[in-house]
């Protein structure tokens, strides 16, 4: 064990040697009887259509990750899942994850944005990244549904939805505890749960996680590595089952997370690929810690009861959080600029739906949905620029209240046993009101402060139609037309935006999407081979964008609606179990995501000044007002993404089991800066390799594992932008560095 205690002695070569050698090691013993049985892949049950179904019967392009699969590689958030899910990208900025699916997403710069790709946790809508900062512990599965899901996932699903299902209480006693040490981040993680019956009708589950990690970007001022993370999360769940068909599940989660320092590094504005991977950052700019903190509560109550031969389901939820962040975004020491972000959010929601029996020629689900939310964000700026000539502070306060009312239904008509027609429709009414107020002390940084307020209501009708045909019991074809929508809103953190026509000066338009998709889901060789393929064509009109403009009024974010953007592509997955002890899987996608029309777009850094110049006067041919990005690629959209995984199980004698897993993920070149700079805003193609070797008791009571992530130590950056003068003494590019290679040792006990 001495080698495990020395972080400098563990190398990818050691882990790979153990990994590659594991099957041969196991082969020295007698082959277990199970290895001679016919292998098959496990059935995956999902609730993408509000019913429990085999994923192979669901006419949607989707990827499902089980809770054990996620825990295997310590994937604790959305960002860590992106290499397992093709066409998914997570932009990490300011302690907030922004989801992009099939190239579509809404940047984090305007905090009032709802997400184009919605997330749901136990059926509760999450439109803000911070609502469920720590959802990925003690979970049953994550379902990623691509394309508009406006019918059954009822809000802001123009490009897709991510559904997280946490673990429920069990009718028998179960318990587990896991502890791990990460050598590269010099930190520990502990998690566990206890679940079981309290009486004949009541069961409970209590789970939690504690994480303390060091960082991986050295700050030479403090002598510490950033970002340093702490996380404390707990969840309690109760399940009441008084009689057959009746159940009530209540869940309550509290999370408290803290991050000190940032993972940002500085890059050259003139030399491609030149990055300084250390910091000289002021740890307490203007007397505030360079840090981020989040605390939040999430609760849900889900009830099911029979109504004759129908089932009534009611889902109610509560979500709230407080968050504050501070960052000086430069290597100036002492800092000359500080941005703080203070957020507060509350949401109440309720949904009721009735489901008919599935064994009839016509079956259906109908329901209603309501939510209310209130959001506040304040942004104080402190600055001491030009040697103190421009000094002071500017504060903006933004408040927004929203209400959503909707009614929905989906019906399936079985034309024959093999041919099904599925139709759905959702009507949504959204009311929003917002108010922005600015104030300043000293020299105003971005012009005179002002106040804006407004309100609006929207009505959306989102239909879909699917034809599903089973050519054999294990081969299903489908074709779908679907529409989705995302509400408009207000600009929360920018004073540089011109007023959209016919709207209040700080409002933006809603998004509307339409999508065509055809696909096949198939299983062969007694379910040992599963092949799924889908082709899609999705267009979003009035795509909401918010990008950083380094040349606009000293640097600022600009929010606009792009006229239209389209993503077309193909997605495929293959799972194969050639042996009882060996499973292989592949997931891949090709996409071409581009603007169809974006007149008035900010200049791209790679555009010549003769084509677009942010400083050009209004009316000039090269003014941004005439700049149209039609045909240009969307940011954060790789053409090729994919992953392959190999998992091998072997018995060592009668008492031990050895499991070896290798996973490789690939992503082709993409732009990771809003201005698509060729100098600092290109992430080149990369592949990352993860590995896990686990020795466990054959009865599953304990396990020891060695886990390696990003074994090739590939450097990638989730976001980049230019940081201009006068906000820094040395104009530079900011790049947000992803985690390097990490090696973790893990121990688990189960009861």
Q: Going by C-beta distance under 8 Å and a sequence separation of 6 or more, which residues neighbour residue 399?
A: 374, 375, 376, 434, 435
- Report the number of secondary-structure helices (H) and strands (E) in the chain: 3, 42
Contact 694, 736 (CB under 8 A): no
Exposure on the CB side of residue 26, measured as CA atoms within 13 A: 25
Across the chain, which distance is largest between two alpha carbons, in Å?
81
- Quick one: which of 350, 341, 353 has its CA closest to 373? 350
Chain position carrying tokens 């991510």:
162
pLDDT for 588 equals: 97
Q: Report strand pairing: 160-166 vs 117-121.
A: parallel
At 3 the three-state DSSP class reads: helix
- Quick one: which of 145, 147, 114 has its CA closest to 130? 114
pLDDT for 128 equals: 81
Which ranges of the chain have pLDDT less than 70? 1-38, 93-96, 132-135, 154, 446-449, 494-505, 549-556
Rounded to 10 degrees, the C-alpha dihedral 255/256/260/264 comes to 20
At 616 the three-state DSSP class reads: coil
Q: Which H or E run includes 23?
A: helix 12-27
The two three-digit tokens of residue 443, written as one number = 């020299």
- Residue 261: Cβ within 10 Å count: 23
At 339 the three-state DSSP class reads: strand
Q: Going by C-beta distance under 8 Å and a sequence separation of 6 or more, which residues neighbour residue 331?
A: 266, 279, 280, 281, 728, 730, 732
CA distance 370 to 93: 30
CA distance 622 to 609: 7
CA 24 from chain centre, in angstroms, equals 38
Contact 713, 740 (CB under 8 A): yes
pLDDT digits (tens, 9 = 90+) for 646-702: 999 999 999 999 999 999 999 999 999 989 999 999 999 999 999 999 999 999 999
At 529 the three-state DSSP class reads: strand
Return the CA Rg of the chain: 26
CA distance 684 to 717: 10
CA distance 695 to 72: 13
CA distance 721 to 706: 36
Q: Which H or E run includes 25?
A: helix 12-27
Domain boundaries, the chain: 2-750
Q: What is the DSSP letter of 633?
A: B
Cα distances from 451 to residues 341, 439, 500, in angstroms, run: 19, 9, 17
Contact 670, 638 (CB under 8 A): yes
Contact 606, 678 (CB under 8 A): yes
386: left (phi over 0), alpha (psi -120 to 50) or beta: left
Strand partners, 616: none
The two three-digit tokens of residue 293, written as one number = 């903190």
- Quick one: which of 712, 668, 707 has its CA closest to 689? 712
DSSP 34-97: GGGSPP-PPP-EE-TTSS-EEGGG--S-EEEEEHHHHHHTT--SHHHHGGGSTTEEEEEETTEE
Q: Is it true that the peptide bond before 518 is cis, omega within 30 degrees of 0?
A: no
At 701 the three-state DSSP class reads: coil
pLDDT for 9 equals: 37
pLDDT for 6 equals: 40
**Interior angle at CA 590, CA 585 and CA 594, nearest 5:** 150
Handedness of CA 541, 545, 669, 587 (dihedral sign): negative
The two three-digit tokens of residue 364, written as one number = 């259906």
3-state helix, strand, coil in the chain (%, to 5): 5, 60, 35
- For residues 200-212, one letter each, b for 16 or more C-beta atoms within 10 angstroms of the residue's C-beta and e for the rest, the string is eeebbbbbbbebb
pLDDT for 716 equals: 95
**Phi, psi angles (nearest 5°) of residue 58:** -100, 120
| Strand arrangement of the beta sheet that strand 96-101 belongs to | 88-93, 96-101, 104-105
Q: Which H or E run includes 14?
A: helix 12-27
Question: 2-750: what fold?
Answer: Maltoporin; Chain A (2.40.170)
554: left (phi over 0), alpha (psi -120 to 50) or beta: left
pLDDT for 387 equals: 86
- Quick one: which of 709, 722, 673 has its CA closest to 79? 709
pLDDT for 441 equals: 86
Q: What is the DSSP letter of 606?
A: T
- Quick one: which of 263, 328, 245 has its CA closest to 290? 328
Contact 334, 285 (CB under 8 A): yes
pLDDT for 28 equals: 35
Chain position carrying tokens 């769940």:
237
Handedness of CA 363, 573, 530, 662 (dihedral sign): negative
Contact 611, 589 (CB under 8 A): no
Q: Report strand pairing: 475-486 vs 582-597.
A: unpaired
Burial (CB < 10 A; 0-12, 13-18, 19+), residue 223, is exposed
CA distance 313 to 355: 8
Strand partners, 182: 187, 744
Q: What is the DSSP letter of 386?
A: G
Strand partners, 351: 315, 369
pLDDT for 443 equals: 78
At 750 the three-state DSSP class reads: strand
């Amino acid at each position: 064990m001495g080698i495990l205690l020395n972080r400098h002695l563990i190398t990818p070569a050691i882990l790979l040697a153990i990994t590659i050698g594991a099957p041969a090691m196991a082969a020295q013993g007698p082959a277990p009887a199970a290895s001679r049985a016919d292998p098959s892949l496990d059935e995956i049950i999902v609730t993408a259509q509000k019913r429990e179904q085999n994923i192979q019967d669901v006419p949607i392009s989707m990827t499902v990750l089980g809770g054990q699969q996620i825990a295997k590689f310590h994937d604790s958030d959305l960002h860590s899942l992106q290499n397992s899910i093709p066409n998914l990208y997570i932009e990490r900025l300011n302690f907030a994850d922004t989801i992009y699916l099939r190239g579509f997403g809404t940047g984090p710069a305007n905090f009032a944005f709802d997400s184009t790709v919605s997330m749901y946790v136990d059926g509760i809508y999450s439109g803000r990244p911070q609502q469920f900062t720590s959802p990925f512990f003690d979970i049953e599965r994550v379902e990623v549904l691509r394309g508009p899901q406006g019918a059954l996932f009822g809000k802001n699903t123009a490009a897709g939805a991510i559904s997280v299902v946490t673990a429920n209480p069990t009718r028998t006693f179960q318990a587990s505890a896991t502890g791990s040490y990460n050598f590269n981040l010099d930190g520990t993680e502990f998690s566990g749960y206890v679940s079981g019956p309290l009486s004949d009708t009541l069961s409970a589950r209590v789970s939690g996680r504690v994480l303390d990690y060091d960082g991986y970007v050295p700050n030479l001022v403090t002598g510490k590595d950033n970002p340093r993370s702490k996380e404390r999360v707990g969840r309690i769940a109760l399940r009441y089952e008084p009689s057959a068909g009746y159940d009530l599940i209540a869940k309550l989660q509290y999370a408290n997370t803290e991050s000190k320092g940032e993972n940002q590094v500085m890059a050259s504005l003139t030399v491609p690929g030149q990055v300084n991977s250390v910091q000289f950052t002021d740890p307490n700019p203007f007397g505030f810690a360079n840090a981020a903190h989040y605390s939040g509560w999430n609760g849900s109550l889900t009830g099911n009861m029979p109504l004759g031969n129908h089932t009534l389901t009611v889902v109610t939820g509560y979500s709230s959080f407080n968050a504050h962040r501070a960052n000086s975004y430069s290597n100036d020491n002492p800092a000359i600029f500080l941005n703080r972000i203070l957020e507060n959010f509350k949401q109440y929601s309720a949904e009721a739906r009735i489901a008919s029996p599935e064994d009839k020629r016509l079956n259906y689900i109908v329901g209603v949905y309501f939510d209310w939310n209130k959001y506040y964000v304040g942004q104080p700026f402190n600055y001491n620029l030009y040697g103190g000539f421009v000094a002071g502070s500017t504060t903006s306060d933004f408040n927004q209240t929203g209400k959503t009312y909707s009614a929905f239904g989906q019906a399936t008509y079985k034309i024959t046993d093999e041919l099904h027609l599925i139709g759905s429709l959702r009507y949504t009414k959204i009311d929003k009101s917002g108010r922005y107020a600015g104030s300043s002390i000293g020299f105003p940084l971005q012009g005179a402060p002002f106040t804006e307020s407004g309100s609006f209501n929207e009505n959306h009708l989102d239909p879909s139609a699917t034809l599903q045909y089973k050519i054999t019991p294990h081969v299903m074809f489908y074709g779908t037309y679907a529409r989705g929508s995302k509400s408009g809103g207000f600009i929360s953190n920018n004073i540089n935006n011109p007023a959209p026509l016919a709207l209040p000066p700080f409002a933006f338009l809603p998004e509307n999407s339409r999508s065509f998709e055809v696909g096949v889901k198939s299983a062969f060789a007694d379910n040992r081979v599963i092949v799924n393929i889908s082709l899609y064509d999705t267009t979003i009109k009035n795509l909401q964008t918010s990008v950083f403009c380094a040349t606009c009024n000293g640097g600022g974010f600009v929010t606009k609606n792009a006229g239209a953007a389209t993503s077309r592509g193909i997605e495929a997955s293959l799972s194969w179990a050639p042996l009882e002890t060996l499973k292989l899987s592949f997931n891949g996608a090709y996409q071409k995501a581009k603007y169809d029309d974006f007149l008035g777009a900010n200049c791209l850094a790679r555009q010549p000044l003769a084509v677009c110049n942010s400083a050009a006067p209004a009316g000039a041919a090269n003014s941004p007002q005439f700049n149209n990005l039609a045909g240009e690629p969307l940011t954060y959209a790789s053409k090729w993404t994919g992953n392959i995984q190999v998992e091998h199980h072997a018995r060592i004698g009668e008492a031990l089991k050895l499991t070896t897993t290798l996973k490789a993920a690939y992503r082709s070149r993409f732009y990771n800066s809003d201005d698509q700079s060729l100098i600092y805003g290109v992430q080149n193609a990369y592949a990352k390799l993860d590995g896990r070797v686990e020795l466990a008791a054959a009865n599953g009571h304990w396990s020891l594992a060695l886990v390696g992530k990003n074994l090739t130590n590939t450097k990638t950056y989730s976001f980049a932008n230019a940081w201009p003068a006068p906000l820094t003494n040395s104009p530079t590019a900011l790049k947000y560095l992803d985690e390097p290679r990490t090696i973790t040792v893990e121990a688990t006990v189960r009861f």
